[in-house]
């Protein structure tokens, strides 16, 4: 149930946010861009807000959820293509050696993603990914990955939408993967998910029915500079607000906040090991390969007026299932 204000006024739409600079920046931004007559007023059609997903909307440690999906798909792919059985990196994945799997390079992971996310019809992929996301659980929390979305961010999405903002996901993860659950989990429809995207190939089944096959060809690598490029390709407007958590979101925030008028750039800092995970290496937090938040990004945030959200201090609760 929403938390009611003491005086019986409307419930706080950002009830899981502690009072502080971050919450204030959000409500100031919404006030400035939605109050008619203000010089910073933004017409509803131009109210676009973009959100990174992994580490910004849901947990991305110890590894990205989609990578878990792809690793678990390897046996099915090898069953179809036995020639991969003794080829790296598939051999390592099949070995089940967790330490060796954790050491796989980015290039190895790209090979695994390409092999496991292509070659099937769009419908077959959607069905397989939907079935997986409905059952797969996070090793530490023993909960569905879709339960590990951040409650304050769900409230923020809803608050922005209630104020006329169109909310988009702009993720380095696979566009088709995220689209499978984005509407149910975030209230964000497939057409508002921008992500790394492979091509598809139109063809016909033997009975003449047309269908699309997922191809290994990468059309958009939606990370770093690829984020503003993907935003232009898929949305065609500069966002008014952008939310991220790592160096891969830097260019998206730069592009967003370089526009005129009131803009909001916000970065989630994972500084809450007990409730979630602690990593940076900004502010002396442990270093990581997954969702790196370097000190240089922290410093740039200060210079450009971006807001850094401390999960520890700014979030009253992190997950909806917390008491």
Q: Which stretch binds a copy of itself (CB under 8 A): 4-12, 68-76, 225-233, 275-283?
A: 225-233
Q: Which is nearer to a copy of itself, 220 or 278 (CB)?
A: 220
Question: Which tokens hold the place of 224?
Answer: 């770093």
Site for a copy of itself in 183-202 (CB under 8 A): 183, 189-191, 193, 197, 199-202
Q: Which is nearer to a copy of itself, 89 or 230 (CB)?
A: 230
Any contact of residue 234 with a copy of itself (CB under 8 A)? Answer: yes
Give me the count of residues in the chain.
Answer: 323
Q: Which is nearer to Ca ion, 74 or 149 (CB)?
A: 149
**210: exposed, middle or buried (Cβ count in 10 Å: 0-12, 13-18, 19+):** exposed
Q: Which does 229 bind (CB under 5 to 8 A by kind): Ca ion, a copy of itself, none?
A: a copy of itself
Q: Which is nearer to Ca ion, 73 or 250 (CB)?
A: 250
Q: Which does 55 bind (CB under 5 to 8 A by kind): a copy of itself, Ca ion, none?
A: Ca ion
Any contact of residue 128 with a copy of itself (CB under 8 A)? Answer: no
Any contact of residue 236 with a copy of itself (CB under 8 A)? Answer: yes
Helix (H, G, I), strand (E, B) or coil at 267: strand
Query: Binder to a copy of itself among 23, 73, 166, 263 (CB under 8 A)?
Result: 166
Contact (CB, 8 A) for 270 and 278: yes
Query: Binder to a copy of itself among 109, 114, 136, 212 (CB under 8 A)?
Result: 212
Q: What angle do CA 248, 249, 255 make, to 5 degrees?
A: 130
Contact (CB, 8 A) for 268 and 248: no
Q: What angle do CA 111, 116, 122 make, to 5 degrees?
A: 130
Site for a copy of itself in 41-80 (CB under 8 A): 45, 48
Backbone angles phi, psi at 145, to 5 degrees: -55, -35
What is the b/e burial string over 119-149, where b = at least 16 CB atoms within 10 angstroms of the residue's CB? bbeeeebbebbeebbeeeebeeeeeebbbbb
Q: Provide the minimum distance between the beta carbon of 242 and Ca ion in the complex, in angstroms, as a whole number.
A: 12
Any contact of residue 229 with a copy of itself (CB under 8 A)? Answer: yes
Query: Binder to a copy of itself among 161, 233, 290, 294 (CB under 8 A)?
Result: 233
The closest of 234, 269, 233 to 249, measured between CA atoms, is 269
On the CB side of 316, CA atoms within 13 Å amount to 15
Q: Which does 52 bind (CB under 5 to 8 A by kind): a copy of itself, Ca ion, none?
A: Ca ion
Q: Which is nearer to Ca ion, 52 or 314 (CB)?
A: 52
Q: Which residues pair with 39 in a beta bridge?
A: none
Q: Provide the minimum distance between the beta carbon of 40 and Ca ion in the complex, in angstroms, as a whole number.
A: 28
Question: Which tokens hold the place of 90?
Answer: 């598939």
Any contact of residue 209 with a copy of itself (CB under 8 A)? Answer: yes
- Taking the C-alpha atoms of residue 252 and residue 49, their distance in angstroms, rounded to an integer, is 11
Binding stretches for Ca ion (CB under 5 A): 52, 54-55, 245-246, 291
Q: Which residues pair with 310 in a beta bridge?
A: 269
User: Under rule CB under 8 A, how many of the chain's residues touch a copy of itself?
Assistant: 36
Contact (CB, 8 A) for 270 and 55: yes
Binding site for a copy of itself (CB under 8 A): 45, 48, 122, 166, 175-176, 179, 183, 189-191, 193, 197, 199-202, 209-212, 219-220, 225, 228-229, 232-237, 251, 254-255, 258
């Amino acid at each position: 149930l929403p938390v009611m204000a003491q005086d019986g006024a409307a419930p706080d739409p950002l009830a899981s946010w502690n009072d502080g600079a971050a919450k204030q920046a959000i409500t100031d931004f919404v006030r400035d861009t939605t109050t008619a007559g203000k010089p910073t007023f933004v017409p509803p059609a131009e109210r676009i807000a973009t959100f990174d997903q992994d580490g910004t909307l849901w947990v991305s440690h110890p590894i990205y959820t989609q990578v878990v999906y792809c690793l678990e798909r390897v046996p099915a792919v090898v069953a179809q293509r036995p020639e991969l059985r003794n080829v790296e990196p598939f051999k390592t994945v099949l070995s089940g050696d967790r330490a060796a799997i954790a050491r796989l390079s980015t290039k190895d992971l790209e090979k695994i993603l390409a092999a496991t996310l292509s070659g099937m019809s769009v419908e077959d992929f959607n069905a397989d990914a939907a079935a997986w996301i409905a059952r797969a659980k996070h090793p530490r929390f023993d909960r569905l990955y879709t339960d590990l979305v951040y409650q304050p961010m769900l409230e923020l999405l809803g608050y922005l939408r209630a104020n006329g903002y169109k909310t988009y996901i702009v993720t380095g993860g696979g566009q088709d993967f995220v689209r499978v659950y984005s509407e149910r989990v975030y209230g964000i429809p497939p057409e508002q998910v921008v992500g790394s995207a492979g091509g598809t190939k139109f063809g016909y089944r033997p009975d003449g029915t047309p269908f699309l096959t997922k191809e290994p060809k990468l059309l958009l690598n939606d990370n770093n500079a690829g984020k503003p490029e993907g935003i232009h390709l898929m949305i065609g407007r500069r966002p008014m607000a952008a939310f991220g958590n790592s160096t891969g979101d830097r260019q998206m925030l730069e592009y967003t906040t370089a526009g005129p008028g009131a803009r909001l750039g916000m970065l989630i800092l994972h500084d809450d090991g007990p409730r979630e995970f602690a990593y940076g290496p900004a502010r002396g937090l442990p270093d990581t390969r997954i969702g790196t938040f370097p000190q240089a990004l922290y410093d740039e945030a200060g210079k450009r007026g971006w807001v850094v959200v401390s999960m520890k201090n700014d979030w009253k609760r992190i997950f909806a299932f917390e008491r």
